[in-house]
Structure 1
């Protein structure tokens, strides 16, 4: 942590399970930098200087046991290729991501949590089918991007969705058709007004418990279908 390293140290122990190197100066990941540690389950390279052009597409190929990957706070403009298919948690917040495509996320059918907060994503930058293979994803954080509406075709298993700090001004009746298990929705600090969320938006969401709409230009009217067993909490004053 904060040791001024400019590369992944060589000759790491083969049986290493966790490699934690945040707040250093690592600017590149080569094809063999992590090849000697195939047993890693946790890799933390947050707040380094990694740029997309300098992360080799085979950098993670030997890390079949990896479950947690933290690349937050780097200079990535696109998702790394060749991510280990056994990942459960992927942290990519506070990068410079401008596009999402299906290929880097292909095969990540065990991923539970994905953070893409504090990037530069717009809805048009999210390619069709991007979420298709994320069948186990329960938490998605897209807060503090440049989204103007709820991205379509979100993963069916999703339970927690963070969209706070975007530019969303309207939530239509089809916004959550693909996410019937949704429990918590965060829309704080967008551009919503009193009637910006249509009455049908939450139909088919029987598990919804939290809807946070604080910090918008007006207090937002939350309408729940009468069949919902328990109403969500409207967040904040």
Structure 2
């Protein structure tokens, strides 16, 4: 086997091969023949899948300076060494199914990198330097132990496909909503309890998968017309309030740390001249265990919507409420209405999937397809009581 390997590498060197396949060779160490003398200067693609490699050589870039694609899928590599940052021409790096615990910051020096696959490893964090990969289009970090994503990830302006399935994430950084090229976001099988309320505002983002996040109760209404995977979401009798500015859970506590009783919380309101618009009484119940509280911005928008449209009917009141023009335009046209009660929705919706019976496809009676209907409700109450027959 060793002599066959040496022969394969020697032929590649003599004939100046650009591609070298060393998959399934039971390699425990990086072949010395690859690093002998001047190395393989013409090699662009190196395939070393399904071996038993545990590390990479420090002089890899020196011996393989023109490497464009490096496939190390299914090995036993624990650490991505600093030397990886010297492969300045590298465009595709696949380290999936290894034993990675650390990705070195030097990975941020791979300025030509377009595809990075780190799925099925033991990573607990990614270095912030990942944000320096301006040409990165695909990032797959599924099935790791990630608790958070690096804040600088939103600087990957070319990123189109982000897969973070089966990790331990409990929130999505709001900065991800700023990725201008992101087309597909998959975060299934995490611990998400909420999503940024402006997720989906970008026209480029068309596919969002958040299946099997059992604590996730609602979806931002900007995802209303997107392709959404949301099976396995939990709809219970309580709903935490979300802050749009920081997307953090809000709880109200007294100075001693105990939850404030409902009677201790003053009713919030908007004032405009001589008119006062009160928020719904549910706002007072924030912090209790059995309320159905929506995000404060959503409650405010719904109250302003009803007040504004009721005042428009009063012909003697020409300027019903003083609000920014952009906000008035939003009040004229909400992003959607509840299928149960027709309540306007501005920032959050609650989806419910109704699989319908199989029907023949038009013109192709030998094929059948399952037709489904997704209902969007304004609250957990409407979600639980809505039925297609109602």
Pairing of 1:18-37 with structure 2 (within 5 A): 18-29=19-30, 33-34=34-35, 35-37=38-40
Pairing of 1:109-128 with structure 2 (within 5 A): 109-123=111-125, 126-128=126-128
Give the counterpart of 1:206 among 203, 208, 227: 203
Pairing of 1:139-154 with structure 2 (within 5 A): 139-154=138-153
1:200 counterpart SS class: coil
Query: CA separation of 1:5/1:190 partners in 2, compared to 1, >3 Å: closer, same or farther?
Result: farther
2:10 counterpart SS class: coil
Pairing of 1:71-82 with structure 2 (within 5 A): 71-82=72-83
Q: Which has the higher contact order (CA 8 A, sep 6+)?
A: 1
In 1, the alpha carbon distance for the partners of 2:149 and 2:228 equals 18
**How much does 1:51 deviate?**
1.0
**How much does 1:180 deviate?**
2.7
Deviations 1:162-208 (A, max 9, x none): 00011122225x24156232111001111234xx11313445x3310
Task: Give the equivalent residue in structure 2 for 1:62.
Answer: 63
Off by >4 Å, runs of 4+ in structure 1:
4-8
* TM superposition score normalised by structure 1: 0.82
User: Greater share of helix residues, 1 or 2?
Assistant: 2
Q: Does 1:197 align with 2:199?
A: no
Give the counterpart of 1:231 among 211, 225, 231: 225
Q: Is the 8 A contact 1:171 1:201 kept in 2?
A: no
In 2, the alpha carbon distance for the partners of 1:165 and 1:208 equals 21
Query: CA separation of 1:61/1:81 partners in 2, compared to 1, >3 Å: closer, same or farther?
Result: farther
Q: Is the 8 A contact 1:29 1:59 kept in 2?
A: no
Deviations 1:32-51 (A, max 9, x none): 62444211111011111111
- Gapped runs of 5+ residues in structure 2? 232-390
Aligned length: 221
Q: Is the 8 A contact 1:148 1:169 kept in 2?
A: yes
Query: CA separation of 1:199/1:236 partners in 2, compared to 1, >3 Å: closer, same or farther?
Result: closer
User: Greater share of strand residues, 1 or 2?
Assistant: 2
Q: Does 1:166 align with 2:167?
A: yes
Task: Give the equivalent residue in structure 1 for 2:181.
Answer: 181
In 2, the alpha carbon distance for the partners of 1:200 and 1:6 equals 59
Task: Give the equivalent residue in structure 1 for 2:90.
Answer: 87
In 2, the alpha carbon distance for the partners of 1:94 and 1:60 equals 23
2:220 counterpart SS class: coil
**How much does 1:99 deviate?**
1.4
